Structure formats: structure tokens, C-alpha cells
Amino acid sequence: MKTDELKGLILKALETEQTPDSFMQELEEAGVTYTFSNDFSGAVLNRIFGESTVRIAESEFFSNMRLVFNRVALTGIAAIILLLISILLGQGTLSIDSILGIGDIETDSIISLMTGY
């Protein structure tokens, strides 16, 4: 079925008091079917009759993590890159010392600061 035909069919089906059975059949023939995976029934029974409380909580946790990951990851990477560029421009190098912010401090100064001499 062509896209335009399907669009017209959908809009027409909503104009009637009840969606005609023929529409449901055409929709199915066009590949519009919603089903769960083959082991759905087994998974439900396992969650009811098996030890599953932890898995439910885990599932919600991972779904939340998945939702937020692609938002936070990109922003985080951009922030890290900006920080590294600013260190490189300010310190002229990307050594551990410069990342820690102690790149231009002499060892004697640190000892003096810590010991008071």
C-alpha cells in the first residue's frame, strides 16, 4: 500500500462511528501490527511466579538511565573538551600538573607553603 493511500485510509476510518473491520484487515496487510516478543507470556509468568522484584526495579533504573544518557553524555564531553582547550591555552601544555592547576608553581613554593619556611 502506498503512503498516500494509507494516510487517506486512516483519516477516512476515523470519520465513521466505528472503524470498519476491513480497515483493520488492510492495516494488518500493510504491516501495521503490534505484538510483543515470542517469549512475552513466559517472561510475565516468570516475573509473577519467580524471584523478580529486583529485576523490575532494575528495569526501571536502566530505562531512566537510557533516557538521560544521550542528553548528559554529549554535554559532558563538550564541557571536558572546553576545559582541556582552556588549560592548553592558559598553561601551554596538557600535563597532569597543568590539569591539576599546579603547572606553573615551583616545588619550592609548595614546600614553603606547607612548612612555613
Partner 1 sequence: MVRESFKDREDSDLVEASVGGDKQAFGEIVNRYQNMVARTVKGMLGDTVLSEDIGQEVFIKLYHSLPEFRGEARLSTYIQKMAVNFSLNEIRRRKRFMSMFALKENAELREIEFASGDEEKRSDALELVNKALMRLDPKFRIIVVMRLLQGYSTRETAEILDLPVGTVLSRLSRAQEQLKIIMKKL
Q: Tell me: does residue 21 bind partner 1 (CB under 8 A).
A: yes
Q: What are phi and psi of 101, to 5 degrees?
A: 85, 15
**Of residues 39-68, those binding partner 1 (CB under 8 A):** 40-41, 43-45, 47-49, 56, 59, 63-64, 66-68
Task: Measure the CA–CA gap between 84 and 78, rounded to whole angstroms.
Answer: 10
The answer to whether 13 and 23 are in contact (CB under 8 A) is: yes
Residue identified by cell 548528559 is 72
Of 51, 54, 71, 114, which lies in the binding site for partner 1, with binding defined by CB under 8 A? Answer: 71
The residue count for binding partner 1 (CB under 8 A) is: 42
3-state secondary structure of 52: coil
The answer to whether 23 and 9 are in contact (CB under 8 A) is: yes
Closer by beta carbon to partner 1, 44 or else 79: 44
- The residue ranges that bind partner 1 (CB under 8 A) are 1, 3, 6-7, 10-11, 13-15, 17-19, 21, 23-24, 27, 30-37, 40-41, 43-45, 47-49, 56, 59, 63-64, 66-68, 70-72
